[in-house]
Amino acid sequence: MSKSRVVEIVEQLVTPIVAAEGLELVDVEYAKEGANWFLRIFIDKPGGVDIEDCGRVSEALSGKLDEVDPIPTSYFLEVSSPGAERPLKKPSDFVRAIGKQVHITTYEPVDGKKEFNGELVSYDGEWLVVAELQKTVRKQCHIPLNKIAGARLSVTF
C-alpha cells in the first residue's frame, strides 16, 4: 500500500478520535527512517497539548489501527504536538498564521527565489503575501499557493 494511501486511511480513523477530544488534527506522517517505519500524528489545541492528550489519542487510535490493520509492516506510532514550527497545510492554518513569522519553500522560483522567510501578511486561498526584510527594506513577496512545496511557522530569536 502506498504511503499516501496509508496517510489517507489513518486520517479517516484519527479525525473522529481527535474531534471527540476537542483537539485539532494538524498532520499525519508515515515515513521510513533507517530500517524503521513511523506513523506520526500531530495534534494541537489552543494553549497546546499535553502528555495526557497525546496518550488518549494514541490509545484510541492504536485500537482502531489494530481493528482495521491498514499498515502491512510493523511501525512505531507517535502522537505529539506539532511544535513551535508547526506545518501550514490547511486554509485555516494559513489564516491563523497571518501576522506571524513563516518559512515558505516553493517547487520553482518565484521572483528568482525558492525560499522565503518573513511575516505572513495575507492569504486569499490562492496567494500568500510574505513580507521579508531584505537588508533594510521590507519587501512583499506574492507566492501562488500551487507553487508551495512546504510551509511552516518560523521561530526567530
Nearest-angstrom CA–CA distance, 123 and 91: 8
- What structural domains and CATH numbers belong to the chain? 3-80 (3.30.300.70), 91-153 (2.30.30.180)
Nearest-angstrom CA–CA distance, 89 and 150: 8
The confidence score (pLDDT) of residue 13 equals 95
pLDDT digits (tens, 9 = 90+) for 80-99: 998 889 899 889 899 999 99
Q: What are the residues whose beta carbons fall under 8 Å from the beta carbon of 4, sequence distance 6 or more?
A: none
122 pLDDT band, cuts 50/70/90, is very high
The confidence score (pLDDT) of residue 11 equals 94
Q: What stretch of H or E contains 25? A: strand 24-33
Nearest-angstrom CA–CA distance, 115 and 149: 10
pLDDT digits (tens, 9 = 90+) for 35-78: 999 999 999 998 889 999 999 999 999 999 999 888 989 999 99
Cell of 25: 488534527
Q: How far apart are the first and last CA of the chain?
A: 42
Nearest-angstrom CA–CA distance, 92 and 71: 29
Nearest-angstrom CA–CA distance, 94 and 102: 10
The confidence score (pLDDT) of residue 25 equals 93
Q: Mean pLDDT over residues 17-32, rounded?
A: 94
- Checking if the pLDDT of 157 tops 80, the result is no
- The CA-based angle 49-87-121, given to 5 degrees, is 110
- Checking if the pLDDT of 156 tops 80, the result is no
- Checking if the pLDDT of 149 tops 90, the result is yes
